[in-house]
Structure formats: C-alpha cells, structure tokens
Amino acid sequence: MNNLVREARFSPAVKKYFLWLPVFGMFISIIGIPLAIVWLLGPGQYFARRYFDSLHCELTESKLKFTKGVLVRVDKTIPLENIQDLTFIEGPILKMFGLSILKIETAGHGGSHTADMRLIGIEGASEFRNVVLEQRDRNKSLALSPNHSGQSEEMLQVLKEIRDVLKDIRGEQNT
C-alpha cells in the first residue's frame, strides 16, 4: 500500500526565497549589511540552489514523505492517518516571491504550536493539500468498510477467540 499517488513539485522561486530571507535578517542590523553582500555574492546562491535541489515530497497511498536539507538532511515520513490538519499559509514575504507554506500537523503533537512538517513553495499547494486530505479520508473509509480485504472479518474472529479464552480463564478461576 505504498503506491505513489502524487509527487509535489517545488517552485524555482524557493531558491530566491532562501537566498534573500537571510539578507532581510542581516539588513535589520546595520552590522549585517557587509555579511549580506558576502552572502549574496558567494555562499548564498550555492546553498539556495543546493537546498532547492534537495527538496522532495511525495504522497503515497498511506504516507507523506518529505526530504530537504544541505548541511543537515531531514527525511520525514508521516502516516496519513496521523494527519490532523493541513494549513495553507501566505505571508507578505512569501507573496513577494509567489510562494506559500503548507503546514502539516499530526495527532499527538503535544499541543505545541509548531508544525510536524512545513512544505515551502509547493506549486499548486492548495490542490496538493486537497489531494492529501482526500487520500487520508479514502484510507479511513477503506479501514472502516466491513469487507476491506477480509481484515474486519479476521479481526472479528480473533476477538471471538480472545473472548472464548477469557471465558475459559474465568471458568477456571471460579472452580
């Protein structure tokens, strides 16, 4: 049950976003202006390109897989049944680059306000969000259907056997 459903494509504008985002931070402090110039002329373009090249996200029938990183590589897999919320975010800086963030939160996240996964720059992010939610809901309905590969019948049989064993144990304790 790991057939590919959809592979996300990332906008090339992600490179510009990750090139210029540190520059905005550096310009806030006057001291950072020389560092911003060095960043733009040297390592910034290299790291932005490498980061963009490392981005990969795919939706399978049962999981959402995401890979990113240059210095630190992150490979994250989230089972679809654990996904609680997918939030679509567009802020002024993101809009400037024509990007958005798809923030994914899972069950049991502990109440923190951070996302389990943040996908920046997916082309057609709202459509990708809908496809993920549809696949999650499809999996839930398949799991609830009584004849899904005979699993429900097998589970019922196992539960009956457990019940019978418990009755036998109770009967032994009463004698």
Please report, as a single letter, which amino acid is at residue 21.
L
Choose between 93 and 175: higher pLDDT: 93
Contact (Cβ atoms closer than 8 angstroms) between residue 108 and residue 83: no
> Selecting from 1.10.530, 2.30.29, 3.30.230, 3.40.50, what CATH number does the domain 4-144 have?
2.30.29
How many Å separate Cα 65 from the centre of its chain? 7
How many Å separate Cα 101 from the centre of its chain? 11
> Tens digit of pLDDT for each residue in 117-161?
899 999 999 999 999 999 999 988 887 765 555 566 777 888 888
> Tens digit of pLDDT for each residue in 38-61?
999 989 999 999 999 999 999 999
Q: What pLDDT shows up at residue 146?
A: 59
For residue 92, pLDDT over 70 is answered with yes
The mean pLDDT of 56-72, rounded to a whole number, is 94
- Alpha-carbon gap, residue 41 to 158, rounded angstroms: 66
- Alpha-carbon gap, residue 46 to 53, rounded angstroms: 11
| Domain limits, the chain | 4-144
Q: 70 forms bridges with which residues in the sheet? A: none
| pLDDT tier for residue 14 given thresholds of 50, 70 and 90 | very high
Contact (Cβ atoms closer than 8 angstroms) between residue 64 and residue 81: no
Written as six digits, the tokens of 41 are 């002329």
Choose between 7 and 153: higher pLDDT: 7
Query: What SS3 class is residue 85?
Result: strand
- Alpha-carbon gap, residue 26 to 30, rounded angstroms: 8
Cα 14 to Cα 41, 59, 94, 136, distances in angstroms: 18, 20, 9, 27
